[in-house]
Amino acid sequence: MNTDQEYTVVVNGKPAGPYSLSELTTLNIKPNTFVRKPGMDDYKEAHAMPELRELLGFTFQKTAPQYFAAFDQRLLASVIDHFLIVMVYSVIILTSYIYIQEKQERIMAFLVPFPLVFLIKLIYASFAEASKNRATIGKKLLNIKVTDLEGSRISVGTSFIRNFSKILSVIPLFFGYLYSFLNKKNQCWHDIAANTLVIKDRLI
């Protein structure tokens, strides 16, 4: 396969190609035409790709996200994250049982520090969602990520506010989470508090 032919272009709603970079100049590519090349997780609009901006004379146009993660995706991502953290926690506690013989003491050793799971999740999520990936392991597996209202990476401070504000979504019997069904951008109360979105990849 010719490695120079690497760009797939969406024409009339269907992928076409692959085309080489030079061949793209013969196509009627507009700034909002969807283009993809190997290594990309999903299609991007042509103006979002530096080499196409240079080749075709486009300027970068920042656009707000239009595809938002559904409640079930967000819930499953959270379950995965908590499961992984609890597994690590359990391994550490079980290892400590080497030095703890009494049954009652073992039970207490497991239960007393358990609230740390939620603290660890808060700290981990705050840094992971502000990282380059913009997602925890659970979110990354579900191909969803946390962004600001324009789809850009958020700061650690904003991420901490978002994750700490989840208490607002939990207190009224989890209505703050269920509110996402009433919000056109699927935002929960903690998303609104931090001015964030949870977006998903565009599907072609």
Chain segment 18-36, per-residue pLDDT in tens: 888 888 888 888 888 899 9
Cα angle for residues 166, 175, 84 (degrees, 5° grid): 45
The pLDDT value recorded for residue 5 is 64
Q: Is the pLDDT of residue 1 over 80?
A: no
Question: What is the C-alpha to C-alpha distance for residues 19 and 3, in angstroms, rounded to an integer?
Answer: 10
Q: Is the pLDDT of residue 66 over 80?
A: no
pLDDT > 70: what percent of the chain? 94
Predicted TM-score (pTM) of this structure: 0.69
Question: CA 172 → CA 58, 102, 157, 181, distances in Å?
Answer: 48, 40, 25, 16
Q: pLDDT category, 126, cuts 50, 70, 90?
A: very high
Give the residues across from 198 on adjacent strands: 146
Q: Is the pLDDT of residue 2 over 50?
A: no
Nearest Cα to Cα of residue 16 among 39, 40, 32, 33: 33
More confidently predicted of 21 and 130: 130
Q: Is the pLDDT of residue 92 over 80?
A: yes
Q: What average pLDDT does range 148-153 have in this prediction?
A: 88
The rounded mean pLDDT for the chain is 89
The tokens describing 169, both together, are: 């979504």
